[in-house]
């Protein structure tokens, strides 16, 4: 598979620590500051009931986690008004979608008998190419995947019925949200796209059970991190499976490809939930992934936080990556070798085809010439250099070097043949 030529513009963000806000950003912050949100589980669940007309949330053990989410949001004193509005909307959306999942399962109990047949599950460090790999595999129409428009509204309502003017209202709403985000943070799309058709992480289904590491991307929540890491996630992964069963019931086929970086630190429960899966674990020099995460956080902080402080992501995410990778090293042995493919970034960027052949071979699916050609086209169309690329600068923006970060990850290089990428 040939690497696409770099045709997009190259961007450098020079105002990371002292951002110069646009008039639109200033107006959005001013407008959001007029609203007040009651971050309590009672208020959020009542809002979801009113929104959906439903009342049965199923097992209520998630309320303890929702309570902690709310407490952690209130404890993060530097969240901006835009963050408060976004988090409130997310919490109500997850509660509403949980009500709809429980409702459709009550009306169609056969959903819970649906087999999730030998899924292909991608995991790897955040910002290590897992999104591109997921999209590439999803180009194979024999596999079922979850586009963003479906992830944020997994169970359609009466309002989502197609009309002559709008064949997919869920897509239309997702597109409106994406356009709004793009207007507010125009360079974010070169870091992580959220357009309606991009293939979403399965973390959106885990969030219906109010768990996962999702909240850590939205706020500084060390208390939630410690709770999540110290509690068994079996019930959360069971809810992920329930979500996949619902989506399979609504639309096949029943051979899923899903991904979430978080799976890397949850390998035992991932394997026990999906024992017949093909596990695709990506590996990259942690510095490359961490540099991207720190920069993405700091860029977004201009509207999501009341200060743009490089010490915030630096103090949180370097250590968080270490935990993620330590758990992967500790637990990788639980994955059956005949069902596991380790993908190394330096090999992937040279030639993905042998890796794709190995994935398909272990998944028991024929990788024919037509499918491979479709993947080649997807790869060319979605190469990071085609639309544009953001250049990150660790030393300028964070006062740290690649070697400063890498010294804490020797255990990872000792265990996996990962090449040092960032100088």
- The three-class DSSP label of residue 17 is coil
Alpha carbon of 339 to those of 13, 217, 281: distances in Å? 42, 30, 11
Report pLDDT digits (tens) over 155-180.
999 999 999 999 999 999 999 999 99
Q: Measured between alpha carbons, how far is residue 352 from residues 329, 337, 347 in Å?
A: 24, 20, 7
pLDDT tens-digit series, residues 273-316: 999 999 999 999 999 999 999 999 999 999 999 999 999 999 99
Quote the pLDDT of residue 148. Answer: 97
Confidence of residue 2 (pLDDT cuts 50, 70, 90): very low
- pTM of the predicted model as reported, rounded to 2 decimal places: 0.95
Q: What is the pLDDT of residue 384?
A: 64
Query: What pLDDT band is residue 6 in, cutting at 50, 70 and 90?
Result: very low
pLDDT of residue 385: 63
Nearest to 290 by CA among 310, 307, 305: 310
Which comes out higher in pLDDT, residue 130 or 324?
324
Looking at domain 9-157+169-415, does it have CATH number 3.40.50.720? Answer: no
Sheet holding 340-344, edge to edge: 257-259, 120-123, 278-283, 340-344
Beta-bridge partners for 390: 11
Query: What is the per-residue pLDDT across 200-232, written as a single tens digit (0 to 9) for each?
Result: 999 999 999 999 999 999 999 999 999 999 999
Average pLDDT over the chain, rounded to whole? 95
Phi, psi of 275 (to 5 degrees): -65, -20
Residues ≥6 apart with Cβ < 8 Å to 199 = 131, 134, 135, 138, 145, 146, 147, 148
Please give the C-alpha separations between residue 40 and each of 72, 219, 361, in angstroms, as whole numbers: 11, 17, 49
Region 8-12: mean pLDDT is 87
- Count the Cβ atoms, other than its own, within 10 Å of residue 320: 20
């Amino acid at each position: 598979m040939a690497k696409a030529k770099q045709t997009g513009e190259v961007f450098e963000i020079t105002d990371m620590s002292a951002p110069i806000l646009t008039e639109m950003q200033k107006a959005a912050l001013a407008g959001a500051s007029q609203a007040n949100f009651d971050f309590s589980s009672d208020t959020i669940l009542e809002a979801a009931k009113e929104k959906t007309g439903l009342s049965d949330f199923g097992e209520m053990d998630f309320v303890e986690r929702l309570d902690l989410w709310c407490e952690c949001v209130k404890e993060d004193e530097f969240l901006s008004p835009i963050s408060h509005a976004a988090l409130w909307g997310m919490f109500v959306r997850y509660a509403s979608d949980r009500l709809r999942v429980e409702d459709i399962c009550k009306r169609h109990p056969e959903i819970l008998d649906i087999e999730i047949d030998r899924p292909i599950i991608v995991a790897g460090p955040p910002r290590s190419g897992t999104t591109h790999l997921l999209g590439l595999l999803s180009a194979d129409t024999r596999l079922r995947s979850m586009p963003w428009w479906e992830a944020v509204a997994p169970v359609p309502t009466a309002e989502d019925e197609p009309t002559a003017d709008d064949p997919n209202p869920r897509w239309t709403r997702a597109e409106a949200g994406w356009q709004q985000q793009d207007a507010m943070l125009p360079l974010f799309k070169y870091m992580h796209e959220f357009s309606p058709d991009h293939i979403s992480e399965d973390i959106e289904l885990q969030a219906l059970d109010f768990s996962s590491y999702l909240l850590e991307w939205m706020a500084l929540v060390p208390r939630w991190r410690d709770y999540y890491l110290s509690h068994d996630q079996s019930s959360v992964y069971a809810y992920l499976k329930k979500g996949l069963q619902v989506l399979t019931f609504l639309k096949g086929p029943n051979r899923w490809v899903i991904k979430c970086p978080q799976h890397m630190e949850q390998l035992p429960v991932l394997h026990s939930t999906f024992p017949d899966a093909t596990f695709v674990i990506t590996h990259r020099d942690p510095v490359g992934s961490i540099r991207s995460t720190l920069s993405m956080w700091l860029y977004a902080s201009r509207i999501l936080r009341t200060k743009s402080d490089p010490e915030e992501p630096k103090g949180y995410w370097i250590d968080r990556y270490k935990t993620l990778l330590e758990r992967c090293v500790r637990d990788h042995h639980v994955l059956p070798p005949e069902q596991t493919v380790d993908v190394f970034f330096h090999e992937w960027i040279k030639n993905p085809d042998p890796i794709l052949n190995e994935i398909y071979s272990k998944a028991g699916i024929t990788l024919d010439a037509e499918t491979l050609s479709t993947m080649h086209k997807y790869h060319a169309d979605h190469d990071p250099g085609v639309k544009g690329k953001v250049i990150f600068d660790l030393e300028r923006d964070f006062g740290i070097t690649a070697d400063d970060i890498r010294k804490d990850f020797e255990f990872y290089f000792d265990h996996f043949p990962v090449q040092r990428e960032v100088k």
